[in-house]
């Protein structure tokens, strides 16, 4: 055998051995940074946030987790996670190896959260952009190493490991993720490490991915994120407790609007001293701009109030931007003092699900806040009948997060009908077209009714209101 042939055989053998070593190494467990272009800005932003401390909950993951920072997902984040002092440490495109690098290079230094929610690995299951698609076993090893790294760095933190969400955008990826999650989930001891599978909420009855929640068959939309939050909430409450419900804690105004809040509060108190009061309307800007007394500098209901409610000795207790907590404060601080109206019409809650200067509330918290408003009325005036209106639809289209939440909240409010002096009436469907879109020309902004919208309100409410007031049928 000549020397050249021997050298060739040795070279091939060496390359084969190196190939075997590389193939045997599981790259899902080898820390690897993302390129500075992809991570630098977010990395710096998150490190700055963590330096401020006051972190009780972290989310560790990829783009699915990073999406919590998108504006469209803020209403759900604000309601469920802001009161828990949460931070999203999701990085778009991240695989287990990238998260391991993040954890080992200062990504969680200086914090001591109560819980770390981990949902990582979907990017390991595909071979897009030339990446290796790891097997279920390889990916599971990467996930387990992440959990162990978290436990080593944050020994007092409980880890809630979520099963990788289903996907249908890449063949075989969903099954690899499912297999990996189930293997990794075996490390749960239900003391420090917990495993939770909420994937059924993202699936249709036939087991396929629900594209109404995961439009690109991978990432949840805002309603999908709400489903995530709702499904995880019972477990998170066990691990962290239930946050204080701001919707039931009486507070004064928190928004700067088109009027002086304190001045209107004093005007209401003066008004009820100077006239007989048989009917009150309690609510936010939708009620405020209906009309009536005390007078407002912005009225959208035209002369409808004067025609239908002024003869019934009505007073308008609607305040722009109010949430349930502001209404409870007002009712407890003079706006029902010395009066016993026959009926209180209550329309409140839409601002509780739209965070601004105050955090948003969950559906459950909002319902509790509305109950608190009704209770405050009945405590001050036990003989007053409460006509509780379902929250009116908002947004032009039917598929929005607001619309979905309003339907859920109204379904719970309907259960109050006939209890504690409450009559529930939901006429929101009268504002909608058959496909669920808002009727044209009945609102100013797909939230506040114009004169035509208020006319629809009156027509829907009139038979019930007349009966509660004890009026003879006209």
Give the domains, in start order, of the chain with CATH numbers: 9-240 (3.40.50.1110), 247-468 (3.40.50.1110)
- Tens-digit pLDDT string for the chain (474 aa): 454 343 333 333 333 333 333 345 899 999 999 876 678 899 999 999 999 999 999 999 999 999 999 999 999 999 999 999 999 999 999 999 999 999 999 999 999 999 999 999 999 999 988 889 999 999 999 999 999 999 999 999 999 999 999 999 999 999 999 999 999 999 999 999 999 999 999 999 999 999 999 999 999 999 999 999 999 999 999 999 999 999 999 999 988 889 999 999 999 999 999 999 999 999 999 999 999 999 999 999 999 999 999 999 999 999 999 999 999 999 999 999 999 999 999 999 999 999 999 999 999 999 999 999 999 999 999 999 999 999 999 999 999 999 999 999 999 999 999 999 999 999 999 999 999 999 999 999 999 999 999 999 999 999 999 999 999 865
Q: At what angle do helices 222-240 and 401-413 cross, to 10 degrees?
A: 60
Residue pair 457/449 in contact (Cβ under 8 Å)? The answer is yes
Angle 434-436-439 (CA atoms, 0-180°, nearest 5)? Answer: 80
The pLDDT, as a whole number, for residue 348 is 98
Q: Can you tell me the distance from the alpha carbon of 355 to that of 105, in angstroms, rounded to the nearest whole number?
A: 34
The pLDDT, as a whole number, for residue 22 is 39
- Contacts of residue 129, defined as CB under 8 A and 6 or more positions apart, other chains included, come to none
What are the tokens at 136? 């279920």
What is the H or E stretch that residue 162 is in?
A: strand 158-162
The pLDDT, as a whole number, for residue 130 is 81
DSSP string over 33-51: PPPHHHHHHHHHHHHHHHH
DSSP string over 250-317: -----S--SS-HHHHHHHHHHHHHHS--SEEEEESHHHHTT--SS--S---STTHHHHHTGGGTEEEE
List, for residues 180-215, the tens digit of each pLDDT value.
999 999 999 999 999 999 999 999 999 999 999 999
The pLDDT, as a whole number, for residue 19 is 35
- Establish how many alpha carbons lie within 13 A of residue 106's alpha carbon, considering only the half-sphere containing its beta carbon: 9
Residue pair 70/40 in contact (Cβ under 8 Å)? The answer is no
The pLDDT, as a whole number, for residue 11 is 36
Residue pair 63/122 in contact (Cβ under 8 Å)? The answer is no
3-state secondary structure of 347: strand
Burial class (CB in 10 A: 0-12, 13-18, 19+), 264: buried
């Amino acid at each position: 055998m000549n020397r050249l042939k021997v050298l060739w055989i040795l070279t091939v053998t060496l390359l084969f051995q190196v190939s075997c070593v590389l193939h045997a190494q599981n790259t899902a467990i080898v820390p690897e940074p993302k390129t500075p272009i992809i991570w630098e800005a977010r990395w710096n932003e998150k490190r700055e946030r963590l330096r401020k401390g006051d972190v009780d909950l972290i989310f560790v993951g990829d783009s699915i987790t990073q999406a919590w920072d998108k504006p469209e997902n803020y209403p759900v984040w604000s309601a469920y996670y802001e009161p828990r002092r949460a931070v999203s440490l999701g990085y778009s495109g991240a695989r287990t190896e990238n998260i391991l690098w993040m954890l080992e290079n200062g990504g969680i230094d200086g914090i001591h959260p109560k819980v770390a929610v981990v949902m990582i690995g979907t990017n390991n299951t595909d071979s897009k952009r030339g990446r290796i698609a790891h097997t279920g076993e390889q990916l599971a090893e990467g996930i387990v190493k992440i959990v162990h790294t978290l436990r080593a760095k944050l020994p007092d933190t409980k880890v809630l490991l979520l099963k990788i969400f289903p996907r249908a955008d890449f063949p075989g990826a969903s099954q690899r993720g499912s297999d990996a999650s189930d293997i990794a989930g075996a490390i749960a001891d239900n003391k420090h490490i917990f495993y939770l599978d909420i994937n059924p909420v993202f699936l249709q009855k036939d087991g396929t991915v629900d594209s109404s929640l995961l439009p690109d068959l991978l990432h949840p939309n805002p309603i999908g994120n709400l489903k995530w939050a709702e499904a995880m909430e019972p477990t998170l409450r066990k691990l962290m407790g239930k946050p204080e419900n701001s919707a039931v804690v009486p507070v004064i105004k928190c928004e700067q609007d088109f009027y002086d809040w304190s001045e209107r509060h004093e005007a209401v108190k003066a008004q009820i001293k100077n006239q007989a009061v048989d009917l009150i309307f309690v609510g936010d800007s939708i009620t405020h701009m209906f009309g009536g007394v005390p007078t407002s500098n912005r009225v959208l209901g035209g002369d409808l109030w004067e025609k239908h409610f002024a003869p019934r000795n009505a007073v308008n207790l609607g305040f722009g931007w109010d949430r349930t907590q502001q209404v409870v404060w007002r009712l407890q601080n003079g706006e029902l003092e010395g009066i016993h109206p026959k009926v209180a019409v209550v329309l409140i809650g839409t601002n509780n699900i739209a965070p601004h200067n105050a955090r948003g509330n969950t559906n459950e918290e909002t319902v509790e806040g509305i109950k608190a408003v009704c209770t405050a009325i009945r405590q001050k005036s036990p003989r007053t009948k409460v006509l509780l209106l379902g929250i009116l639809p908002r947004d032009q289209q039917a598929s929005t997060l607001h619309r979905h939440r309003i339907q859920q909240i109204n379904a719970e409010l309907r259960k109050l009908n006939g209890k504690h002096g409450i009559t529930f009436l939901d006429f929101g469907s009268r504002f909608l077209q058959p496909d669920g879109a808002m009727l044209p020309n009945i609102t100013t902004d797909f939230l506040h009714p114009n004169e035509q919208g208020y006319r629809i309100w009156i027509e829907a409410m009139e038979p019930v209101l007349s009966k509660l007031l004890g009026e003879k049928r006209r």
